[in-house]
Amino acid sequence: MEYLDIDTLSSLQNHLAKLTGLYLSLYGERGNLIMPPVNENKLLSSLKALSKGRDEYHDFVKKNIEKALQRTDISFLKGPGEQYHFFIPIRIETSAFIVVGGGVFVSAADYDTFAKTAGAAYGFMPDQQKALLQEMTIKDYAELQDTARYIRSIFSLGLQSSHKGTFLEKRYRLMKTVFSLISEIQLEKQAAEIYDIMVDMILFLFNAESIAVMIRDNTVFKPYKSAGKFRDHLQSLPLKTTGLIAEVVDKQKPVNSESVMELLRLGFNDKITLMYAFPIISEDTVIGLLNIYNSVISQDDADIIFETCKMMGNCLKIVELQETYHKCLKEIDILNTATSRLIPVKEPDMLYETILDMSIYLTEAEKGSLMLVSDDTAYLTIKAAKGINRRLLTDIRIRAGEGIAGWVFREGVPLVMEDIEKNEWGFPKRHKYRTSSFISVPLKLDEKTIGVLNISDKISGEVFSAEDLALISSFAAYATIALERSTYYTLAGHLKELSVTDSLTGLFNRRYFEERFFEELNRSDRHNLSFSLAMIDIDDFKLFNDSEGHLAGDEILKSIANISKDCLRISDVIARFGGEEFAVIMPQTEKEEAILVSERIRKSIKEQIPSTWSVFPKKAITVSIGVATFPYDGKERKELIRNADKALYMAKMEGKDRTVIWQSKS
C-alpha cells in the first residue's frame, strides 16, 4: 500500500469495470481489501445484503484468495448464488495482489438452479428474485476467461506503473528534501552548523536509531556530535583507523558490519550490533565519518546517504569556492530555461522565435537575429529577427566570410566586440544600431556550423562582456540541439504523412485503409458493434479521361476527395482505394445511417462539381456507391469488401448515380 497510487488505480478499476460490465475489487496478499468492489450487479449486491449471502461470499473470497496466491494462473470458481467469479494473482516485485471480479452466470443451468432453488434458500421473495434475474445475462465461459485475461494484463500494467511511479515519487521527494536542505546551507555557516544539519537530516529522513559524526585527527576519528538512543556511549568513543575504519578510508566508500566481534574490537559495547560507516570526503581525502548504528538501511538509501556525505564534504570547502559558485549560477539558470522553454517547442518557426527571444532576454539586449544555412546552398538566411523590420531582411542572403555573421559562420568561432569602429578585422560600421557593441555566436553540430546568432544594443547602453559571451555560447549549444530535434521531428512527420496518404488526392492510401479496416473489424467484433463500408466509384471516368485528358481527370479526383471529406463525420475514414474508386469506413454505423451518409456524398458530388468540360457528354459528374454492414453482410475482411463491391456493381447495373445497400439472399 505504501507505494500504490490508489486514486489512479481506482480510476483504472472503474474504467475496466464499466468496459467489461463486471464488478472488480483488489485485495492484498494478507487478504486485506485495498479497493472495494465497483459495478456490482444488483443480484450480487442483494445477495451480500443478506446475512447468509454475505457470510458465504466473504468466506468464499477469503478461502480462494489464499489459494490464488499459490497459483500463477487465473482461477474461475462458482460462488454463492451460482455466479462465477475470477481470482487474478498479480505479483509486483516482492508484493502480491489479487483482483477479484466477475459475478455472472456462465450457463443456463446455473441460472435455472438459482431461479428454482438457490434464490429461495437465501430468503429472496419470488417477485424480488424475478426482478433481479431479469437484469442478469448469461456470459459465455470462454468469453469470461478472455475478459479476465484482458483485465489481468491491464491491471498488471496499472499496478506496476502505480508502484514504480509512487516509489520513484517518494524517492524523488526524499532526494529533493536532501538537496533542498543542503542548498539552504548558508556560506557563512561554520563546520559545526553543517554537521548539525547533517545529523538532524539523517535522523529525520532515514529514521536512524543512533548516529555519530566523527572528525579525522591524523589516525583517529574523534566524536564530534552524536544523537539517538546510544548518544552518550558514542560521544565518548574515538575510533582508530584500523579494521573496518581503515577499509572506509582506503576505499573511500561506505562499509557496513554486523559482526559482533569486529564491533567489540573497535571499542563498542555489546548493545551496538550493526554499523554503517560513510566517508565524508573533501578534495579526495576522507576528513570525517558519518556512522549509523543498529538500523537496517536499503541500498538505495545508502547510496543517497553516501552522496549526501560527499556533498557535505564539499560544503566544508564551499566558502573558498564562492566566486566560482556565483559564476555557475547563471549557467544553471540557462540549463533550466533551455529545458523548460526549448524542449516543448517542435514547430520550426516557433522554435526560431523562441531561441532568439531567450537569447535577447539572457543578454538584456534590444535587437537580434537568427540566421541558418540553407539546405541546398552555402548562404545564411534570416529565420527570426527582433528590433529590426523583418520585411527588410526577407531576401538577404549572406555568404561565408561576408560581414560579421559570415565571418563567424566561416570561422566557426564566437565574436564579442565592444566597439566595431575599433575592430581589427575591418568590419563596416553599424549605422542602424544604437550602440557599437554586439555578439555573434555560431550554432554548431559537432564540427559543422549550421547558423549564427547575432545580438546587439544592450538595453543599458553598456558594452557586451565576456560573461555575456560565455552565457549566450552555453545557451547556443542547447539551441542547436533543439534545432536538430525540430528538423528530425518535421522530417519524421512528413515521412509519416507520405506513408499513409495518396499523393494526388491527399486522402489516406490503400495501405492505411487496410490497417484501419482491420482495426475496426477487430474492435467491432470484440465489442459487438456494427460498422459500415461504402465503396465509391466515379461513373464513366474512363470516358471522361479519354475525352478531357488525364490532367482534367486528376482534378476531378481531387474535387471528389475534398467534397467527400466535407460530407463525412469526424469518426469516418475515407481512402483512395485505387484508380477512380474510394472506400469509406463508418464506425458504429448501421445500414440506415450509412445510406444517409452515402447519399449525402453522392448528391454533393453531383451538385458541387461545375460542368467545365467541353467533350464529355454527361451534364454532371456522378458516382455510384455500394454499402455493406458488419456483421450482417460479412464478418471477414474479404467477405465484407466483396459484398460492398457487389452492391456497387448493382448500382452500376441499375443505371449508375445511386447508392445500393447489399442485401443478403439468405
SS3 602: helix
pLDDT at site 186? 55
pLDDT at site 627? 96
pLDDT at site 378? 72
Q: List, for residues 380-394, the tens digit of each pLDDT value.
A: 888 888 877 666 566
Distance between the two ends of the chain, CA-based, in angstroms? 58
* DSSP 8-state symbol, 114: I
Rounded to the nearest 5 degrees, what angle is found at the Cα of 24, between the Cα atoms of 20 and 29? 140
CB atoms within 10 A of CB 61: 23
In which element (H, E) is residue 502 found? Answer: none
What is the C-alpha separation between 345 and 490, in angstroms, rounded? Answer: 12
What is the C-alpha separation between 126 and 358, in angstroms, rounded? Answer: 77
Residue 251 CA to its chain's centroid (Å) = 41
pTM, to two decimals? 0.34
SS3 247: helix
User: Is there a contact between 645 and 537 (Cβ–Cβ < 8 Å)?
Assistant: no
CB atoms within 10 A of CB 279: 24
pLDDT at site 165? 61
Q: 398 has which bridge partners?
A: 380
SS3 329: helix
> Is the N-terminal amide bond of 348 cis, ω within 30° of 0?
no
What percentage of the chain has pLDDT greater than the value 90? 37
What is the C-alpha separation between 84 and 294, in angstroms, rounded? Answer: 51
Q: List, for residues 636-666, the tens digit of each pLDDT value.
A: 989 999 999 999 999 999 999 999 999 876 5
What is the C-alpha separation between 637 and 164, in angstroms, rounded? Answer: 41
User: Is there a contact between 582 and 556 (Cβ–Cβ < 8 Å)?
Assistant: no
What is the C-alpha separation between 110 and 47, in angstroms, rounded? Answer: 16
Q: 278 has which bridge partners?
A: 290
Backbone Cα Rg of the chain = 38
Residues in Cβ contact with 513 at an 8 Å cutoff, skipping those fewer than 6 apart: 573, 575, 577, 583, 585
What is the C-alpha separation between 23 and 13, in angstroms, rounded? Answer: 9
pLDDT at site 131? 84
Residues in Cβ contact with 639 at an 8 Å cutoff, skipping those fewer than 6 apart: 633
pLDDT at site 37? 93
Q: Domains of the chain, with CATH numbers?
A: 6-167 (3.30.450), 191-316 (3.30.450.40), 334-490 (3.30.450.40), 510-661 (3.30.70.270)
User: Is there a contact between 258 and 273 (Cβ–Cβ < 8 Å)?
Assistant: yes
What is the C-alpha separation between 343 and 313, in angstroms, rounded? Answer: 34
pLDDT at site 94? 74
Q: 584 has which bridge partners?
A: 534, 574
Residue 112 CA to its chain's centroid (Å) = 49
What is the C-alpha separation between 331 and 470, in angstroms, rounded? Answer: 9
Dihedral (C-alpha) 230, 235, 236, 238: value to the nearest 10 degrees?
110
SS3 292: strand
- Residue linked to cell 523583418: 390
The low-confidence residues of the chain, meaning pLDDT below 70, are 1-3, 163-191, 316-332, 334-335, 337-339, 342-343, 375-377, 389-395, 419-433, 486-499, 665-666
